[in-house]
A = this chain, B = another copy of it.
Amino acid sequence: MTEALPVADGPAPELRVWALDGIPEVSPGDDLVSLVLAALEAQPAPDRWVQDGDVVVVTSKIVSKAEGRVVSADDREQAITDETVRVVASRVHPGGVTRIVENRLGLVMAAAGVDASNTPDGTVLLLPVDPDLSARRLRAGLADHLGVRVGVVVTDTAGRPWRAGQTDIAIGAAGVQVMDDLRGQTDTQGRTLTVTVAAVADEIAAAAELVKGKASGRPVAIVRGLAHLTLADDGPGARALVRLGPEDMFAQGSAEAYEQGWKDAVEGDRQ
């Protein structure tokens, strides 16, 4: 069972979010803990060091690079296929085929999360093998070297049905709640809030993206002010944010499901 650290009560809390300067280009074999430590040491103000209860948010791209998850760009389509558990939807357009797939991490993403930006020419980048494990390692490394107990969130950028643009989401987490279950709490009318479970790790990822940006070369951010969401142990990890299976009302794209229904009717083999 995960246990929240004790936190002082007080007035409306303030969240502070800033990106670390000084993270260099990351190469396979680089030690992520050392890179973050060096960037922290270069912070201009002492209050920009990490402290207990902070959340360190890391773009998955540098985790992947450090872990050597680089493959030849010639194999991009094969890389997507290899990362794919199940094709959810696909669409042909002038630039090629967009495949929305469930990948081996349970994430439903375009191109399975395989990324061709910010990588050496001729290569593409796969997501980390186990981003929750990557987060736990970074958390343990920061605890070992600095004696601090922080949360870690590993992020990636994802599109959403029905909404334009992308947001960052949590694909790995350690030492931080990924959901804040408000279902037992009462609202201001004294009634029980029955529905809301806030996906706080995704909201942390989104907040951090606002300072990290995509093109700015600042892949690490610190979020201060969420100690009440940090945990004494590693916690459930971002895998707990995956919701597939019987609860998933969008397991197939509309066109794919329509085709399947039509095919099954013609073949007399209704699902």
Interface, chain A (partner B; CB < 8 A): 11-21, 25, 44, 89, 91, 100, 102, 107-108, 117-121, 157, 160-169, 178-179, 182, 185-189, 191, 193-200, 202-204, 206-207, 209-211, 213-215, 217-218, 225-226, 240-244, 248-266, 270-271
Contacts and interface: CB of A to CB of B under 8 A. Distances in A.
B187 A215 contact: yes
Contact of A215 (B14, B168, B186, B255): B186
Nearest to A186: B215
A195 B91 CA distance: 16
A193 to B, nearest CB: 5
Contacts of A217: 188
Contact of A188 (B118, B199, B266): B118
A12 B16 contact: no
Nearest to A187: B118
Contacts of A11: 21, 44
B13 A165 contact: no
Contacts of A248: 161-162, 254
Contacts of A244: 162
A271 to B, nearest CB: 7
Contact of A214 (B25, B196, B225, B259): B196
B197 A242 contact: no
